[in-house]
């Protein structure tokens, strides 16, 4: 498995491609807007393809890392889509966070064409993508996960086989549910501390190493303090993830409330900010 097609070269995709190149893979890419990748293409020397089909044709594996379920639908099933061009025996790995039911449908139709399909969403944000330390949650056939392990290890540190098609996506939903509650808690703690006149740096030093500590606190509270809202993970994409989880059976009251708060920020034009911008809701900005 040496030739890789990579579709969706955004904030995280760029770093993932670079890590694949470092690991010795030959990578071709497709993304919706070529103009945004001029510098990246010049820097890496990767081959540009004009369509998802061209990016998939003849490759040993195809990785997709796009934005929304409708984007996944388009690149797999649309005109010039992956399923129309991937060679029999190829591995298709969707690393987008998307609807579990869509992952199952891709797996079923891929299998009918002699393709090996995995849903493998990730956690770790832009930092994990840069450092090759993403957590990767894999759904599909266990043998296919094993075959793709070296490829996945080029991009991630923790790769866990979760179960059949769709299981990776369901695991990612559980991950996002936990993050939603955690980041809201971090924001509330910081907002409370600010109202009480506490020094935010001392606050972070005091509580981040104890029982309240978390990745969200360590990595995002400092950005909240500095009012640095640059996206490591887009607010609008987090809303998409939360809505996918809310569409599944069962009550999720905390997630519902956090999603509504983020929705208010998106309605005010903040969708392209990072998830740490939730602090703006608490500050009334």
Domains of the chain in start order, with CATH, are: 3-164 (3.40.50.720), 171-283 (1.10.1040.10)
Give percent above pLDDT 90 in the chain. 96
Interval 58-67: pLDDT, tens: 999 999 999 9
Question: What's the average model confidence in pLDDT over 86-97?
Answer: 98
Helix (H/G/I), strand (E/B), else coil: 163: strand
Cα separation, 170 vs 163, in Å, equals 10
Mean pLDDT of the chain: 96
Does residue 172 carry a catalytic annotation?
A: yes
- The tokens describing 274, both together, are 């990072």
| pLDDT score at 232 | 85
pTM over 0.95: no
Question: Exposed, middle or buried by CB within 10 Å (0-12, 13-18, 19+), for 19?
Answer: buried
**Of 22, 36, 157, 172, which one is the catalytic site residue?**
172
pLDDT per residue over 230-260, tens digit each?
Answer: 998 899 999 999 999 999 999 999 999 999 9
Is residue 157 very low, low, confident or very high in pLDDT (cuts 50, 70, 90)? very high
Antiparallel, parallel or unpaired: β 47-48 and 61-64: unpaired
Backbone φ, ψ for residue 259 (5° rounding): -60, -40
Q: Which two tokens stand for residue 51?
A: 């369509």
Strands, E, within 122-277: which ranges? 122-123, 134-139, 156-163
Pairing state of beta strands 91-94 and 61-64?
Answer: parallel
Say what the pLDDT of residue 1 is.
Answer: 87
Q: How far apart are the C-alpha atoms of 211 and 169, rounded to whole Å?
A: 28
CA distance 33 to 267: 25
pLDDT of 43 above 90: yes
């Amino acid at each position: 498995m040496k030739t890789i097609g990579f579709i969706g070269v955004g904030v995280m995709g760029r770093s993932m491609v670079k890590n694949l190149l470092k690991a010795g893979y030959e990578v071709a890419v497709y993304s919706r807007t070529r103009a945004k990748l001029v510098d990246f293409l010049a820097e890496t020397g990767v081959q540009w393809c004009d369509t998802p089909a061209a990016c998939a044709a003849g490759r040993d594996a195809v990785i997709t890392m796009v934005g929304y379920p409708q984007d996944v639908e388009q690149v797999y099933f649309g005109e010039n889509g992956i399923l129309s061009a991937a060679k029999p025996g190829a591995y298709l790995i969707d690393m987008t966070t998307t609807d579990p039911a869509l992952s199952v449908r891709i797996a079923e139709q891929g299998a009918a064409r002699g393709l090996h399909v995995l849903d493998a969403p990730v956690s770790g944000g832009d930092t994990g993508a840069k450092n090759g330390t993403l957590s990767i949650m894999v759904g599909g056939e266990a043998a296919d996960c094993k075959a793709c392990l070296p490829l996945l290890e080029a991009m991630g540190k923790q790769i866990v086989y979760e179960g059949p098609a769709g299981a990776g996506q369901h695991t990612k939903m559980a991950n996002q549910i936990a993050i939603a509650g955690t980041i809201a808690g971090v924001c509330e703690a910081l907002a409370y501390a600010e109202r009480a006149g506490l020094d935010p740096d001392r606050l972070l030093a005091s509580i981040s190493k104890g029982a309240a500590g978390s990745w969200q606190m360590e990595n995002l509270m400092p950005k909240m303090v500095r009012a640095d809202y640059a996206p490591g993970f887009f607010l609008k994409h987090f809303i998409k993830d939360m809505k996918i989880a809310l569409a599944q059976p069962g009550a999720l009251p905390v997630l519902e409330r956090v999603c509504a708060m983020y929705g208010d920020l998106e309605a005010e034009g903040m969708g392209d900010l990072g998830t740490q911008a939730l602090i703006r809701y608490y500050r009334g900005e």
